[in-house]
Amino acid sequence: MAVEQTLSIIKPDGVKKGVIGQVIARFEGAGLKVAAMKMAHLTRAQAEGFYHVHQQRPFFGSLVEFMTSGPVVLMILQGENAIAKNRELMGATDPAKAAPGTIRKDFASGIEQNTVHGSDGPDTAAFETQYFFNVFDRVNE
């Protein structure tokens, strides 16, 4: 299994709830390393560009509104099988359907305000990590 990098976002609801530390502890506890990290308050244009694949979905406007409602934590997570491992730790998009012990099951309040984002494959991971970080921002040990 290859070492991968993937984008993680602690969404505005997670930052507001004060669970940044608990979320990161789960990543580190599962063997994922934080390879880059910063906080940001996304602009509308940044959020729309990030979620461009969802542009035609009925929830797009509301999602952009939510993602720009407060600060987020942007991270690159690195490790063996990091993309799938992160998705597993996150749980299903809808917290009502998320497995026990997952981040969304434990912290999310709904299908939109679901605490974390994670890239869903190698192509999106490549796009999403470079969207928020350049090569000089990353440690790669």
Catalytic residues: 117
Smallest distance, Å, CB 120 to Mg ion?
Answer: 5
C-beta nearest to Mg ion: residue = 120
Please, which of residues 1-40 interact with ligand ADP by CB under 6 A?
A: none
63 binds, among ligand ADP, Mg ion, none (CB under 5 to 8 A by kind): ligand ADP
Smallest distance, Å, CB 66 to Mg ion?
Answer: 14
Q: Which of 86, 76, 69 is nearest to 132 (CA)?
A: 76
Three-state secondary structure of 63-125: HHHHHCCCCEEEEEEEEECHHHHHHHHHCCCCHHHCCCCCHHHHHCCCCCCCCEEECCCHHHH
Binding flag, residue 114, ligand ADP (CB under 6 A): yes
Binding flag, residue 117, ligand ADP (CB under 6 A): yes
How many residues of this chain bind ligand ADP (CB under 6 A)? 9
Rounded CA separation 129/114 (Å):
20
Binding flag, residue 59, ligand ADP (CB under 6 A): yes
Residues that bind ligand ADP (CB under 6 A): 54, 59, 63, 93, 111-112, 114, 117, 120
